[in-house]
């Protein structure tokens, strides 16, 4: 493979397609679907290395057009999420030790956003937790190191940690559930509520589906086993799904939508140097729950956020310094030009916790003006992904 890797090792520009490699905790895996869209891998294509997996961040496409298709129809994404499982009689107790949110009361067939913290309260990992059975949970990981941490805390619990080696696809957009009904051999699962999970059959393949995603649009994720017939499944998704408005895109348009929705990326928007409160995620911390790692530190932590939204009145880029009253007070972690809002949006990470909402700041050497605000930029009640509303797009 002939490639170029960026300084931080997260972006790879492909000059030709990648081989599929078996997965494990310490190997880089290429998507098993990459050969089905290799005709769109041009000289400027970018593949993202994330959680040990590689998937397309940008292909030869009109990103704004794909954004509007996502907002109005349905889009298929090949994503790099990494699914592991916790299996055994102590699975719930183990996860309750690791996570600030209560795990034991979760019902089978339900999903929940959850993260893990270090003893000092810093964020280690975030992801979606799925309860598959009383003694079985699936955790869909973000980027970052976690396996050594899990094994270090495993000995006191009767639990097995399993790399499923499943590959994840997402279908997102307002027509997603119509697409799902057409794709499933026996019809869509019913019920299939927001943050629900169900077993489905597609093109004869047994798959796990969860009504989750990284766009804050109506949508679902599919977990594809390593031994699946990937070619037949891809043909089914693009053929049957295509008749219902589904088309494939790289993750560039998804990234715009997730920023609008206030969805954070572990390792760029949040880090071990930040508590959940600093990241604006305090609502997912249950301080009444005892015994989880990091609780003592979080009890004493400043509850004010360091990460907030920013509306920019000009072009901004990730990494730009933030200045207030002539002093550098933070930086931008991620930026995007929002086609829906008609201006640049960004996440502003301040060096210290404080009352940062409603401030007028300057960005970068050119002093691009901006104002800070609460995340997300719209739909704070998540009515769109719940299927209860849709922005006028």
| 6 pLDDT above the threshold of 70 | no
Q: Which long-range contacts (CB under 8 A, 24 or more apart) does 348-351 make?
A: 348/307, 348/308, 348/309, 348/310, 348/322, 348/372, 349/269, 349/306, 349/307, 350/306, 350/307, 350/308, 350/322, 351/306
- The answer on pLDDT for 15 being more than 80 is no
Contact 160, 137 (CB under 8 A): no
What is the model's pLDDT at position 27? 65
Confidence check: pLDDT of 9 > 80: no
d(CA 388, CA 174): 11
What confidence tier does 390 reach under pLDDT thresholds 50, 70, 90? low
- Percentage of the chain beyond pLDDT 90 is 88
**pLDDT digits 0-9 by tens, 169-221:** 999 999 999 999 999 998 999 999 999 999 999 999 999 999 999 999 999 99
Cα gap 69→176, rounded to integer Å: 12
Does residue 54 carry a pLDDT above 50?
Answer: yes
pTM over 0.85: yes
Banded model confidence at residue 13, pLDDT cuts 50, 70, 90: very low
Averaged over 319-333, what is the pLDDT? 97
Mean pLDDT of the chain: 92
**Would you place residue 28 in the very low, low, confident or very high pLDDT band (cuts 50, 70, 90)?**
confident
Percent of the chain's residues with pLDDT above 70 = 92
Residue 14: predicted pLDDT: 39
Which pLDDT belongs to residue 214? 97
Helix axes 176-183, 230-242, angle to 10 degrees: 130
The distance of Cα 161 from the centroid of its chain, to the nearest Å, equals: 21
- Distance CA(307)–CA(319), nearest Å, equals 14
Closest CA to 52 of 84, 74, 77: 84
pLDDT tier at 393, thresholds 50, 70, 90: confident
**Alpha carbon of residue 256 to chain centroid:** 12
275 pLDDT more than 60: yes
Mean pLDDT for the stretch of residues 293-312: 98
For residue 274, pLDDT over 60 is answered with yes
> Which residues have a Cβ under 8 Å from the Cβ of 42 and sit 6 or more positions away?
59, 60
Residue of 44 and 174 predicted with greater confidence: 174
Cα–Cα dist 43/170, whole Å: 25
* pLDDT at res. 133: 98
Find the mean pLDDT for residues 85-110: 98
Mean pLDDT computed over 85-100: 98
pLDDT value at 34 more than 80: yes
Give tens-digit pLDDT for 63-79: 999 999 999 999 999 99
Give the model's pLDDT for residue 48.
87
**What's the pLDDT score for residue 391?**
62
What would the mean pLDDT of 353-381 be, rounded to a whole number? Answer: 97
pLDDT at 22 over 70: no
pLDDT exceeds cutoff 50 at 339: yes
pLDDT band at 36 (very low <50, low <70, confident <90, very high): very high
Weakest mean pLDDT among 57-61, 85-89, 338-342: 57-61
């Amino acid at each position: 493979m002939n490639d170029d890797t960026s300084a931080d090792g997260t972006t790879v520009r492909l000059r030709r397609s990648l081989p599929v490699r078996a997965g494990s905790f310490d190997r880089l895996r290429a998507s098993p679907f990459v050969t089905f869209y290799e005709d769109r891998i041009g000289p400027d294509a970018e593949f993202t290395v994330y959680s040990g997996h590689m998937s397309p961040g940008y292909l030869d496409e009109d990103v704004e057009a794909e954004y509007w298709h996502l907002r109005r129809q349905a889009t298929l994404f090949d994503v790099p999420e990494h699914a592991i499982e916790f299996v055994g009689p102590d699975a719930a107790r183990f996860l309750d030790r690791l996570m600030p949110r209560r795990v034991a009361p979760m019902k089978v067939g339900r999903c929940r956003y959850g993260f893990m913290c270090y003893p000092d309260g810093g964020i280690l990992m975030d992801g979606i937790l799925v309860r598959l059975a009383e003694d079985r949970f699936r955790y869909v990981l973000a980027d970052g190191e976690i396996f050594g941490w899990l094994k270090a805390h495993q000995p006191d619990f009767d639990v097995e940690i399993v790399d499923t080696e499943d590959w994840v696809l997402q279908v997102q957009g307002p027509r997603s559930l119509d697409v799902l009904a057409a794709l499933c051999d026996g019809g869509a699962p019913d019920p299939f509520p927001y943050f629900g999970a169900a077993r489905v059959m597609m093109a004869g393949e047994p798959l796990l589906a969860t009504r989750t995603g990284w766009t804050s649009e109506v949508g679902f994720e599919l977990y594809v086993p390593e031994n699946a017939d990937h070619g037949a499944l891809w043909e089914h998704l693009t053929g049957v799904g295509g008749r219902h408005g589904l088309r494939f895109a790289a993750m560039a348009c998804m990234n715009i939508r997730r920023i609008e929705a206030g969805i954070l990326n572990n390792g760029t928007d949040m880090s071990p140097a930040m508590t959940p409160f600093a990241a604006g995620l305090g609502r997912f911390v249950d301080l009444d729950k005892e015994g989880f790692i990091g609780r003592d530190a979080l009890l004493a932590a400043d509850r004010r956020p360091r990460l907030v939204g920013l509306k920019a009145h000009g072009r901004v880029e990730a990494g730009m310094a933030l200045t207030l009253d002539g002093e550098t007070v933070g930086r931008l972690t991620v930026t995007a030009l929002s086609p829906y809002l008609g201006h640049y949006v960004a996440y502003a990470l301040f060096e210290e916790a404080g009352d940062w909402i409603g401030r007028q700041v300057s960005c970068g050497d050119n002093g691009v003006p901006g104002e800070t605000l609460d995340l997300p930029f719209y739909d704070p009640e998540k009515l769109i992904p719940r299927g209860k509303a849709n922005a006028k797009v």
